Every structure is written in C-alpha cells, then in structure tokens.
Structure 1
C-alpha cells in the first residue's frame, strides 16, 4: 500500500487544532523560560554586587 495517501478532509482541522494548541503551549513555555532566565540573571547581578565576588566566567579566558 502507498503510505502517501492523503488523509480525509475531516481529519485536517483536528490536526490543525492540535498543532495550534501545541504552538500555544510551547510559546507559553518559552515565555516562562525567558522570565526564569531574566530572574536568574538578576540574582547573579545582585549577588556579584552585594558579595563583591565574580560568579560569571569572563569570556576569552
């Protein structure tokens, strides 16, 4: 049998809806991870300033 047979038209909207839901979920997760990265960066900046220590590795060394 040919595996490239087109799917019936009634299955495409469900697939599209599922993909749109997955995209929305991934966008939400990306937003959360960006917020988390900003929070960690801020904590490192505060710790370096208050404790007068270097936490981040200098690039090129």
Structure 2
C-alpha cells in the first residue's frame, strides 16, 4: 500500500492512504525502543474530515 500523506502526532507519525471512495486508512507509528525502527500502534479506517485542520509533513505529489 502506498501512502499519500504523513502527519506528526507529537511522539508518533501517522501515515494515511485515501482511496477512490475517499476512505482513509490511518496507521500510527511510534519509534521502537532501540530507535532503529517504528512500531505500528494502530491501523484503522477514519472519517474523511479527521485531518481537516492539520498540515501534513509530507504529501505524495505524484498522485500514485
């Protein structure tokens, strides 16, 4: 799955994928204790307006 946006949520990152029906997958990543990797803390579908007032750290400009 290619994600199209990344948000900073304080101590974690949230990566998102929007599909053609405007459904969004929300995956929260937190740094692993050793600092080399991220652990997946949650993955769930969310409302389309969840990030309405938030600015992404990164967006996929290719539209892939």
What TM-score, normalized to structure 2?
0.16
Between Structure 1 and Structure 2, which shows a larger proportion of strand residues?
2
Higher Rg of the two aligned structures: 1
Between Structure 1 and Structure 2, which shows a larger proportion of helix residues?
1
The structure, 1 or 2, with the larger RCO (C-alpha pairs under 8 Å, 6+ apart) is 2
